[in-house]
Every structure is written in C-alpha cells, then in structure tokens.
Structure 1
Amino acid sequence: MKSSSLLSLLEDRRIHSGESLAQTLGISRTAVWKQIRKAQAEGVEIRTIRGQGYQLISTLDLLASDRIRKALPERLHNVIALDVLDAVDSTNAEVARRLTSGLKGVPVVVADSQTAGRGRRGRQWVSPQGENLYLSLGLSVQGGFSALDGMSLVLGVAVSRALSTFGATDAGLKWPNDLFYGDRKLGGILVEIQGELQDGEVQVIAGIGINVHMKQAEMVDQPWISLAEAWPDVVWTRNALVAAIVSEVVEIIAQFERQGFAPFRDEWQARDIFFSKDLVARDGGVEGRGAGIDTAGNYQVDTPEGLVPVRAGDISLRVRS
C-alpha cells in the first residue's frame, strides 16, 4: 500500500476507524497503524482518538493524477503520458528510462519525493516529501544540438508564465536556469540531452523543481523561499501547478521549435535579476556589469574591454559581494 492512499482517505479531516481504513485499503489494521506511524514520523499531524480512530490535522497537498488531468487543457489529454509517483530516484532519470522504452506521448513524471534529485553541475537537489514540486518532461526537438540554444531560458519563461496565472507575477529569473523571488531561490530547471547532437531529433529532458510549501531545509546551501511564503495570499496546490506548468511548457516549446529563442528574449530579460548588477564569474575570469542576454541566450557582461558573452556550459556567474 502506498502511504498516499491512506492519506487521501484521511484528507477530508474526519475521524476514520482503523477497521474502516483497513477494509477500504484491503490491508490489516496493523498495517494501517504502521502507515499512520510512518506518516507521523515524516511530519504529518494525525491524531489518534482512543476507541474511534484517526483524524488528520495537517493541511495536505496530495498529488493525484486525476486532479492534474482535470486541470489540464483537454487538447493535452492525448498528448502527454502522465505518471505520479510516491518516490523516485530522480524524475529526470525516470523520464530518461521512459524515453528509451518507446513510450508514446510526451512523458511527464511528477514525484512526491526524490532520493537522488540533482541540479546543475551534479549538485544535490534537496527533495523532502510532500512539500515541493519535482516534475520532469521528455521533449523531442528537431535540428540537432544547435537548435537548443536558449532552451533552458525559454523553460524559465514558461514556468514564470505558469506562476503568473496564479497571481505570482513578479518571480525573477537568474541566468541560466534558476527561479528567484527577490534575492532568494524559488526553484530551478535542469536540462539534459540525449540523441543526435549534430543533426536530427534530440530528446530533451526538462526537470523543474519548485519550493511550494517547504518550511525548513538545513541542507540547502543558499537563501531560499517557497511559493507559500513569497505569495501567502495564493492558495497553492501542486496538482494545479503541475497542470499549469505542463501546459505552458508544451505550448512554448512548440513555438520555440518553429521560431527559436528570439521571440522570448524580451520576456526573459524583463525578469533578469542580474541586469545592471556587478557580476563576477566563479572562476574569476570575467568581471563587470550585467547587460542581459544575446540572441543565442548567452549572458553578456559589460567589462572595460567590452561585452563578454558567457555560455551556460562554460562558467557560472554571481553578484559580486
């Protein structure tokens, strides 16, 4: 039995007897008790009422494939192949496996937690259960590696558009692949590529991680913020968020494949948190003022010697302290 199945029964916050839960789930009362204890150990508040049963106290935001599909535009129902998982090593790794299996449709994997989530340059992506969004899509693009210039930036635009539909209109973008609110990290995008790099079809795995309800994360090594903290007046549900992001990504990548990065450049630059800031490359090789992105999505640094373009695969930038 998956713990999410038990929690979905308790989600109405009524009192449920151990016997009724066991009967509905087709397991023993002892197994129900073990699942209750496991959920409590993971921080879910469930009250045990002697002689009556169990009652959920926490407000949960459970992932559910039927709720995601209901929130998706009908035109996408036969386009994507959606899977919602309790746990996975990495949603990107799972999408890669599905791409090699010949699965029909755009593979979309959402997980409640990741045991080996990763970010740019192989860094660990902290992935606590039930608090954030861990989402990956498998996208096919024609034209080889050269056709992908600016794709991670375009995905940032897609996620920003999705957040705007909830009223979160002032999210920032940090080149090349991070989402920010003020000076704190809200999420990130990891793009991985497989297929024909010179010509032909390239398969792109787009991983998107967003802090939704996260309250603490001792292992995160930089200032961060969640959607719930940044926009407390918005009722954030992960199912609606998945649907909004998937819809925007599928639409924007179709346009990107036809027209390239140029139509999205101004929209990305309007959210650029580096613009006009004093920047330094982490290897110390480039210092200057942020001057926005060029037509290929490289970041331009205004130095005494002129504009220096920085490619995402070469070095990373930070604001000079």
Structure 2
Amino acid sequence: MMLQASEVLQCLSCEHFLSGQRLADRFNVTRATINNHINKLQALGVAIESVSGRGYRLCHPSSLHNESTLLKRLNQTSPAPLDQLQCWQQIASTNSSARALATPQAGTFSVVLTELQTAGRGRRGRAWLAPYATNITLSVVWNLQQPLHAAGVLSPYLAVQIAQALAHMGVPAIQVKWPNDIYSQDKKIAGILIECSGEMNSACHLVVGLGVNAYMSRSSLDFSQHTINQPWTDIITQLPDFAGSRDDIAVRCINAIVAGLVSYEQGLPKSFTEVWSQWDLLHAKPVRVESETDTITGIARGISQQGCLRLETAMGEEHIMLGEVSLRADHDSTD
C-alpha cells in the first residue's frame, strides 16, 4: 500500500525530533519519499520544524480525526441514531459528498467529515478556507419530515445551536450574525451552509454543512495570499488552554446540529425569535443589506418567525428573505 502523508504526520510530535532515516525505516521507503511527504504537509499548512542532523518535529500539537473514535462517541451520545459516517483525508466538498449519500431513514442522520476540503463554499459561492487538519469541516445529512418551505428558518435556528455548543465549551463572547454565521469577540469563528432538495409539500433531503475554525492560527499558510475579507478567530486563540481534540469539537457540533434537527421536527418554539435576540450580533445596530440589484439601509430588529431579517427602514419595516442578501454593519467594510 502506498504511504500517505497522513501516516507520516501521525508519527511526528512536538516533544522530540524524528530523523528522516528513522521515518524511512519505519515505513520501508526511501528518505526522498519521506522528504516529499514532509514538503507536501508543509505546503498544506502543517507547521513542521526541520533541523539538519536532527530531523523533523511539529511546531504545534496536531491530531487527525479518528473514525473509530468518532463512530463510537456518536453512537453513544447522539440524540438520534447514526446511519453512516464517512471520514476522508481530502475531498472537494463535504456538502457535495453528503448530497450523493442515500437519504437516511427518518429520525436518523449521516455525517461526512474531512481533513481537507479543496472546493468548499459558503453563502453566495464564497470560498471557505480550511487548512489541512486544523479546522472542523463536516456535513450532516437529515431527512426532514416537513415540507421544503418550512426549512427557511433552519439556518438561524441551527446557528444558535452551534453558538450554544461553543459557548458551553467556554468560547467567550459568542454571537450569531444573520442568517448563519457564528462570531466570537466580533470575529467569525464558524459558519453554516444548508442545502435542501425535495417537493414543496413533502419531506426534504437536508444537508447541513458546518465549518469551525479550531486551530487555524497554527497553520503555517500565509493567509495574506488568500481572500479572507473579514476578521476571523479560532477556538485555540479564544481558549489557549483548551486540551480537547478536534474529534471532541466535532462530536459536540454534530450533536448540537442533530439535537436542533430533532427539536425542529417537533415544531419551532414560538420563543425562538426572543432566543435569537439574546445572541444577535447586529441587534438594534445600523446595517445595510445588499442584493445583486439593490442596497437597503436600516436598523436590524431581529428576525421573524419565518427566519427573515427584520429591517427598520425609513419606509417602514421590511422582511429580508434568507439567502438573498449579504448583511453588513454600516461602519464595517467586510461581509
């Protein structure tokens, strides 16, 4: 079997150097092969220190997802039965792979998770940057037993579930930005992208994509070379003493999404708009809403029971539909 770069990464640690020859002997390959894999990992953003005569070691702790651990923990702790779990080293998009899965039975869920997503997208087709083995990049598949039109409020509803999960971990100053972004200390830390398919008046196939910045600041990538047009942060920056693994974060987030879907099936709480206001990043702030053809300014007044942004304008209150606009604070030039 051909040696994978992930196998080399799993042998490295922060505590001590490991020589290229020892790695080559361990895998019965040439030192040139080891060097190629080290170069590949470094190109993907894994911070590896290389010292002549001593070998290689990690600049920061790094852990890959463990499929058997995830499977065991999800089977033990999830609020609904797990149907399938796919854990990849690299795929184009977890949402694309999730859409290709068979629809799980009602009341069960499937998960697609990857170390590296090469063509991830957020809202309105924006690229989602996630260096190798640093962030949480996954999609949850669910057979929603409600018509397609009832899924409109799911983005803000599940964003609150993720916000609550991160806050429970101790991540400070968590807020949500309509419709589906999660912020910590006024910087983006996570985002959701939901894709639905089905008939308007029958059950629909639901894919909930989630990206969480976990250890992104430890990547060696030069982010100035990438188009990141908004302030961002990650869990390890906000919680420097966090000792959990990426599997810990993934399980918490998956369970938060599934718990949200289970409760949503039972009916959206009438108090949800009040719950949203407790987490609302832009509550009562001046904002401008941009569509492809128009820009509207006003005061953000929370969301409606249908998940629309309530915008107080000079002409009265307008309700902005999910997925049609981008939202910006008037004083902010970023999305």
Quick check: 1:212–1:236 contact (8 Å CA) kept in 2? no
Distance 1:107 1:25 in 2: 34
Identity %: 27
Partner of 2:254: 246
TM superposition shift of 1:305:
3.2
Question: Higher mean Cα deviation, 68-77 or 288-297?
Answer: 68-77
TM superposition shift of 1:66:
2.9
Q: Which of 99, 103, 112 is residue 102 of structure 2 equivalent to?
A: 99
Quick check: 1:143–1:200 contact (8 Å CA) kept in 2? yes
Q: Which of 265, 277, 300 is residue 290 of structure 1 equivalent to?
A: 300
> Could you list the runs of 5+ residues in structure 1 that have no partner in the other structure?
none
Are residues 1:226 and 2:229 paired? no
After the TM superposition, which segments of 4 or more aligned residues of structure 1 sit over 6 Å from their partners? none
Partner of 1:217: 223
Partner of 1:185: 188
Alignment of 1:59-138 (within 5 A): 59-72=61-74, 74-76=76-78, 79-99=82-102, 106-138=109-141
TM superposition shift of 1:145:
0.9
Partner of 2:313: 303
Distance 2:265 2:28 in 1: 48
TM superposition shift of 1:90:
0.7
Partner of 2:281: 273
The verdict on how the C-alpha distance between 1:154 and 1:13 changes in structure 2, with shifts beyond 3 A counting, is: same
The verdict on how the C-alpha distance between 1:9 and 1:288 changes in structure 2, with shifts beyond 3 A counting, is: same
TM superposition shift of 1:236:
5.1
Question: Higher mean Cα deviation, 118-127 or 18-27?
Answer: 18-27
Aligned-residue CA RMSD (Å): 2.7
Quick check: 1:133–1:209 contact (8 Å CA) kept in 2? yes
Distance 1:150 1:299 in 2: 10
TM-score using structure 2 length: 0.84
Q: Which of 301, 306, 326 is residue 316 of structure 1 equivalent to?
A: 326
AA matched with 2:197: Q
Quick check: 1:180–1:187 contact (8 Å CA) kept in 2? yes
TM superposition shift of 1:234:
3.0
Q: Deviations over 1:158-205 (max 9, x none)?
A: 211221231125311000011112332222111111222x12220111
* SS of 1:204 mapped into structure 2: strand
> Could you list the runs of 5+ residues in structure 2 that have no partner in the other structure?
none
Distance 1:142 1:89 in 2: 29
Distance 2:24 2:55 in 1: 11
TM-score using structure 1 length: 0.88
The verdict on how the C-alpha distance between 1:268 and 1:24 changes in structure 2, with shifts beyond 3 A counting, is: farther
Q: Deviations over 1:21-46 (max 9, x none)?
A: 45654655543332123224444314
* SS of 2:62 mapped into structure 1: coil
Are residues 1:168 and 2:171 paired? yes
Q: Deviations over 1:98-157 (max 9, x none)?
A: 23799x952211111111110101111122222222111111101221221310111101
Quick check: 2:175–2:281 contact (8 Å CA) kept in 1? yes
AA matched with 2:265: E
Distance 2:301 2:135 in 1: 32
TM superposition shift of 1:3:
1.6
The verdict on how the C-alpha distance between 1:47 and 1:314 changes in structure 2, with shifts beyond 3 A counting, is: closer
Quick check: 2:65–2:247 contact (8 Å CA) kept in 1? yes
Quick check: 2:91–2:116 contact (8 Å CA) kept in 1? yes
The verdict on how the C-alpha distance between 1:302 and 1:128 changes in structure 2, with shifts beyond 3 A counting, is: same
* SS of 1:300 mapped into structure 2: strand
Quick check: 1:99–1:138 contact (8 Å CA) kept in 2? no
* SS of 2:319 mapped into structure 1: strand
